[in-house]
Structure 1
Amino acid sequence: MTPQSIRRFALELDGPEEAVYSSGEVVSGKVVLELRGELRLSELVVLGRGAATAHWLENRSPGVNTAYSDYTSKVIYFRKKQRLIRDNGELTTLPAGRHEYPFSFQLPEETLVTSFEGKHGSIRYWVKVKLHRPWCTVRKIKKEFTVIEPIDINTPSLLAPQAGTKEKIARAWYRNFGQVSITAKIDRKGYTPGEVIPVFAEFDNSTSRSVVPKACITQTQTFIARGTMKQKQSVVATLSGDVVGARRRETWHGRAIKIPPVGPSILQCRIIKVEYMLRVCVDVPGTSKLCLELPLVMGTIPLHPFGSRTSSVSSHYSLNMEWLRMAIPEQPEPPPEYSSIVTEEEAIQNSPAARQEEDLSGVLERSFMAYVQEFRFRPPPVYSEVDPNPQPFNMRPRCMTC
């Protein structure tokens, strides 16, 4: 047996090339061995792994003798091991040709964490194959796969509106320019990439200078190791408003800011978190800006088209329904009989024989709304240059002063 006996050593996962998994699903595939000649091996093992790792270095003593502190932490989410060829104390001989060894393992039922790649850490899932041969180095193949844990934004906590107010006194060199305030609101907390967030805000500029309102969506990556935290913040979308003059007020009636293709929020990992925020700010010349932050959660399951649109709408609707339940009894009383409230003479006078006959056939064949709609969409009368109802010449004009 020589190392050149192996023509091809490959790991193939079932399904499409960019397959995505979630907790509880089965990852399956096969190990392919194509041999030119006979091959003797002791063991063939498949390993499944999932782990979150945070790592970074920090300067302790900058200068010539620079020293670094190493911050590292790791969380294991699952470990699976499957022996395709066992080591029973004797070598296994494979003849020349193609050999396939299928494998499969189930991901844990408990919630996993979405795959992630960051500057100071990562969350990765992979399958590794090890081929053990006598008197040879172990040959390894590793293939990563993606795990995305679903985040359904159709939950009460993520459908709740987010609102806030913030104000500050603008000062520069001990000089007071006045007060600036921001009031902002969004319909809900949970969104999915590609959606548009309508921003409702009011900017009250009581200063003697013009200010510029802005809004942006930020992503904050937090890495935790050895009790120390490292953060990386980036802006993923921006929105700029018009200049608000001195002692003026500006209102946004649903200014749209679109969410770009970004990864979902990661909130369940102990050492890595990915959070999003909508920041509504005001730039005041000569002093620090005023910012109001509204939390966001990037989900994977979009808003149901026929579900609750927003918690504010649903709560308002439910409030109205509660009021109706209190005001209207469940079983209304039937109306009184006609004969009990009308005298015999009135009944004879109002009878069909006493009234002028009318042809009402077909009136009740259609619903009342049909007649309402017919009247609503009736075209206007035809315009004519000739007055169809001319005024007689012998009629005296009305005196306006009388």
Structure 2
Amino acid sequence: MKLEDFKITFDNPRGVFNVGDEVKGNVCISLNQPMKMRNIKLYFEGKGKSHWEVKQGRSKTDYRAQESYINYTIILFGAANTTSEHPAGSHFYPFSLRLAPNLPSSFEGKRGYVRYFCKATIDRPWKFDENTKRAFTVIHHLDLNASPEAGYPIYAEQEESIAGCCCSDGSISAVLSINKKGYVPGEPLNYSIHVDNRSDKNIERMLLELKQDVTYTGYSSSLFSSGNPKTHVKSDVFCLFSGTRNVNPNNSEDINQTATIPALPPSNLDGCGIIDIQYTLVLTVSVGWSTLEIEKEIIIGTIPLHIPMAVPSFPSVVPPGTMATAPPLEPPPYVDPPPAYEDCVFGGANIRDENDDEHTTGLSAWTPAYPYYHWGENGPPPIAVPSAPPPAYNQV
């Protein structure tokens, strides 16, 4: 075998890029003998897809949609229609591609995805082509400071009657309080739960979950289809708090705790027209066969919300007999730690598709990574609003 190694490397080793960034790297090829080939080319693709089935009896209807974001090819060696001999040895072919500012963030879901990858090909005459493939993450920032409601606190209450064998066994009520609506991954979420048990039964369990609702849009190719788009919602949940609580009849309990927001794609998935993401906090209180639920929407962003620190005020006129010895204090600089990048808590996918064969190498199991802030339990300090998004991975 003449080909010893064939791979794609990024200057940013984690392969995480913000929209507007330049994707830079090298295609590396190692040959122990010269090889005849037409060219070595690198293909960039970014696409969104949705697909699900609806079964009715023995028949089923497919719903699909697709969007194209990147479709670009670079010739790194050789030409399109001529054959040449590539020398033996190790060779590195640099590449770069500027990402458009309106691309959606990477996402891998159960019924669709937004995926970006590059694929290098050795085009060989009269032989199978050799391919290597690598995915990368794109981040379309969601700045919580641009959302007026992100800083609003959340308060919700609910009451539920407890059903008995022949009549009501009383009721339970719950109150859920959250310090604000907007968060970034890694940020502590401070919550308070108050439960009042006015029933004849014990409260057995309480559960606080972060639910991700993904809405996919697709179209049917059926001859009987109206041609109108259909939607399909798929949910995942991440447990923030789970406890077996023995709240006796005619008693109440208060829970004040902190949970950390996991690594997740931002709300809305801006830039994608076929996939939408929303997040909800769900509090569940169980009593016997009855369940009380409270649901409140929150926003997951990539740039944290900041409350400017109060700047001391100074008199506009200096009182007689005094001298101004120093100018007014400036607001403190933006001192947040740059984010790390962590794999999505809900996992990834196999990125092999119908265009890959046994001659395609590279990582097939892949998980997108998202900005993750390490503040600890105290959360972000009250500092000046940042003037720019967090840096790309290679600038950290």
Shift of residue 186, structure 1, vs aligned partner: 0.8
Is 1:271 the equivalent of 2:264? no
Question: Among 202, 210, 213, which residue is 1:218 paired with?
Answer: 210
Any idea what the Cα deviations from partners look like across 1:258-282, whole Å, max 9, x if unmatched?
1263323341233334433222232
C-alpha distance in 2, partners of 1:244/1:332?
Answer: 63
Larger Rg: 1
1:316-355 aligned within 5 A? none
Give the match for residue 193 of structure 1: 185
Q: Which deviates more from structure 2 when the two are superposed, residues 136-145 or residues 259-268?
A: 259-268
Equivalent position SS for 1:206: strand
Is 1:298 the equivalent of 2:300? yes
1:41-56 aligned within 5 A? 41-56=37-52
Is 1:101 the equivalent of 2:98? no
Q: Is the 8 A contact 1:219 1:274 kept in 2?
A: no
Shift of residue 134, structure 1, vs aligned partner: 1.7
Q: Is the 8 A contact 2:213 2:236 kept in 1?
A: yes
Q: Which deviates more from structure 2 when the two are superposed, residues 237-246 or residues 154-163?
A: 237-246
1:372-383 aligned within 5 A? none
Equivalent position SS for 2:199: coil
C-alpha distance in 2, partners of 1:303/1:33?
Answer: 45
Give the match for residue 126 of structure 1: 117
Equivalent position SS for 2:128: coil
Q: Is the 8 A contact 1:121 1:223 kept in 2?
A: no
Any idea what the Cα deviations from partners look like across 1:226-277, whole Å, max 9, x if unmatched?
314041332332243743333344344xx11412633233412333344332
Q: Is the 8 A contact 1:42 1:133 kept in 2?
A: yes
Give the match for residue 344 of structure 1: none
- Return 5+ residue gaps in structure 2 as ranges: 220-229, 321-396
Equivalent position SS for 1:113: coil
C-alpha distance in 1, partners of 2:319/2:35?
Answer: 91
Is 1:33 the equivalent of 2:35? no
C-alpha distance in 1, partners of 2:88/2:319?
Answer: 91
Any idea what the Cα deviations from partners look like across 1:325-355, whole Å, max 9, x if unmatched?
9xxx998999xxxxxxxxxxxxxxxxxxxxx
Aligned-partner residue type, residue 171 of structure 1: A
Question: Which has a greater percent of strand?
Answer: 2
Question: Among 10, 13, 19, which residue is 2:15 paired with?
Answer: 19
Give the match for residue 6 of structure 1: 3
C-alpha distance in 1, partners of 2:253/2:301?
Answer: 32
1:238-257 aligned within 5 A? 238-240=241-243, 242-252=245-255, 255-257=256-258
C-alpha distance in 1, partners of 2:245/2:59?
Answer: 50
Is 1:281 the equivalent of 2:262? no
Q: Which deviates more from structure 2 when the two are superposed, residues 88-97 or residues 135-144?
A: 88-97
Give the match for residue 389 of structure 1: none
How many residues matched?
Answer: 305
Under a length normalisation based on structure 1, what TM-score does the superposition of the two structures give?
Answer: 0.65
Give the match for residue 238 of structure 2: 235
C-alpha distance in 2, partners of 1:86/1:174?
Answer: 84
Instruction: Give the alignment's Cα RMSD to 1 decimal.
Output: 3.3
Give the match for residue 113 of structure 1: 104
Residues 273 and 228 of structure 1, relative CA distance in 2, 3 Å threshold: closer
C-alpha distance in 1, partners of 2:238/2:4?
Answer: 49
Question: Among 131, 134, 139, which residue is 2:130 paired with?
Answer: 139
Residues 332 and 178 of structure 1, relative CA distance in 2, 3 Å threshold: farther
Give the match for residue 71 of structure 2: 79
Is 1:258 the equivalent of 2:249? no
Shift of residue 218, structure 1, vs aligned partner: 2.6
Give the match for residue 371 of structure 1: none
Q: Which deviates more from structure 2 when the two are superposed, residues 32-41 or residues 185-194?
A: 32-41
Equivalent position SS for 1:157: helix
Equivalent position SS for 2:170: strand
Q: Structure with the greater relative contact order (CA < 8 A, sep ≥ 6): 1 or 2?
A: 2
Question: Which has a greater percent of helix?
Answer: 1
Give the match for residue 181 of structure 1: 173
Q: Is the 8 A contact 2:279 2:297 kept in 1?
A: yes
Question: Among 56, 59, 71, which residue is 1:60 paired with?
Answer: 56
Shift of residue 161, structure 1, vs aligned partner: 0.9
C-alpha distance in 1, partners of 2:268/2:300?
Answer: 11
Is 1:209 the equivalent of 2:205? no
